[in-house]
């Protein structure tokens, strides 16, 4: 419960325009801990550095609250440019997109623009042997995102596109079960949005327990599972679960965020586990940055100390 109180307090404070102005003015240098760059060359440099330690990358261009169809198409084109440049530089074009950023819910020429642009992005990534993860947003968008995910898997296959489930939502276990026929590639996360208590667990112990259930069920079903957490206890439990159930290491991977527990990422890679780091980039970094601060008081303390020094 204290975790939820902390998260709500941080997200409430950081939503204040005056606070955002201060952070943008004085904390931009500190943002680099969590956001690799504001441009494509910078994020590809970060990906190459990770590759030297045997760690893969998930490339995510930040962009939320994009309104017009023209802006959505422009954002989609920027993701296509990222894929082209990644391939040209020898970086695997494994990208994450929010369907809302490329037009989800906007009808153009009789079809959902998000679905149209997702097709363009997946087609281009597949051309270069890449992968596209459809990120999950807050609960009102879950049904539409999963329906569109099902459509895209039917068109491109489960080796080309995956999605995300959030363990703090009550519904996620049923959602996972409903997708089993697709043998889907799913990234399991705890969830970072401020959700009402009618749809989400508020106690950390409940969120963690549901996270384990999601991961274990997905692994036992033979599906590729992306274990996205920095929680060492959960990581150790997943390693043990895989061992006793004879689940091969090429059926799952550990995923973490750029700027958080690089030591743990390197250690897991050295142990022979697949590891991938989620690298966010772009000028629209503030919403993502505030969610990272809200995850743990350690992150907030790091930012406050840095801003006071500045």
List active site positions: 135, 187
Strand-pairing partners, residue 59, are 95, 279
Supply angle C-alpha 270, 273, 277, rounded to 5.
Answer: 90
What does residue 18 show for φ and ψ, rounded to 5 degrees?
-70, -40
CA distances from 123 to 23, 57, 76, 308 (A): 38, 19, 12, 47
Supply angle C-alpha 302, 38, 284, rounded to 5.
Answer: 80
Element (H, E) at 163: strand 161-166
CB 28 within 8 A of CB 62: no
What does residue 20 show for φ and ψ, rounded to 5 degrees?
-60, -40
Q: Which residues make Cβ contacts (< 8 Å) with residue 97, sequence separation at least 6?
A: 60, 61, 79, 118, 121, 132, 133, 134, 135
Nearest of 31, 24, 4 to residue 258 by alpha carbon: 31
3-state secondary structure of 201: coil
Element (H, E) at 37: strand 35-37
Q: Which residues make Cβ contacts (< 8 Å) with residue 277, sequence separation at least 6?
A: 50, 55, 56, 57, 58, 255, 256, 257, 258, 265
The span from the first CA to the last CA of the chain, in angstroms, equals 33
Query: Measured over all CA atoms, what is the biggest interatomic distance in the chain, rounded to whole angstroms?
Result: 54
Q: Which residues make Cβ contacts (< 8 Å) with residue 48, sequence separation at least 6?
A: 89, 91
């Amino acid at each position: 419960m204290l975790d939820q109180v902390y998260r709500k307090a941080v997200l409430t404070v950081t939503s204040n325009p005056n606070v955002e102005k201060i952070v943008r003015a004085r904390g931009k240098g500190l943002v680099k801990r969590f956001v690799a760059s504001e441009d494509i060359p910078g994020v590809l440099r970060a990906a190459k550095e990770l590759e030297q330690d045997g760690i893969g990358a998930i490339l995510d261009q930040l962009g939320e609250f994009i309104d017009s169809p023209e802006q959505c198409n422009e954002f989609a084109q920027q993701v296509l440019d990222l894929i082209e440049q990644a391939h040209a530089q020898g970086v695997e074009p494994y990208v994450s997109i929010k369907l809302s950023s490329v037009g989800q819910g906007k009808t153009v020429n009789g079809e959902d623009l998000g679905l149209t642009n997702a097709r363009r992005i997946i087609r281009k990534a597949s051309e270069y042997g890449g992968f596209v993860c459809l990120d999950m947003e807050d609960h009102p968008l879950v049904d539409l995102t999963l329906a569109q995910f099902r459509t895209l898997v039917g068109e491109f296959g489960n080796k080309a596109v995956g999605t995300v489930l959030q363990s703090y939502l009550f519904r996620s276990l049923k959602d996972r079960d409903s997708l089993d026929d697709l043998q889907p590639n799913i990234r399991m996360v705890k969830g970072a949005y401020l959700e009402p208590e009618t749809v989400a667990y508020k106690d950390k112990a409940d969120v963690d327990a549901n996270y384990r259930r999601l991961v274990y069920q997905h692994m036992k079903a033979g599906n590729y599972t992306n274990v996205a957490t920095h929680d060492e206890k959960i990581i150790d439990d997943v390693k043990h679960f895989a061992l006793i159930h004879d689940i091969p290491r090429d059926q799952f991977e550990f995923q973490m965020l750029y700027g958080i527990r690089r030591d743990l990422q390197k250690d897991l890679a050295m142990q022979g586990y697949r590891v991938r780091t989620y690298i966010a980039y772009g000028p629209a970094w503030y919403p993502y940055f505030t969610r990272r601060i809200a995850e743990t008081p350690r992150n907030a303390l790091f930012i406050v100390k840095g801003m006071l020094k500045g």
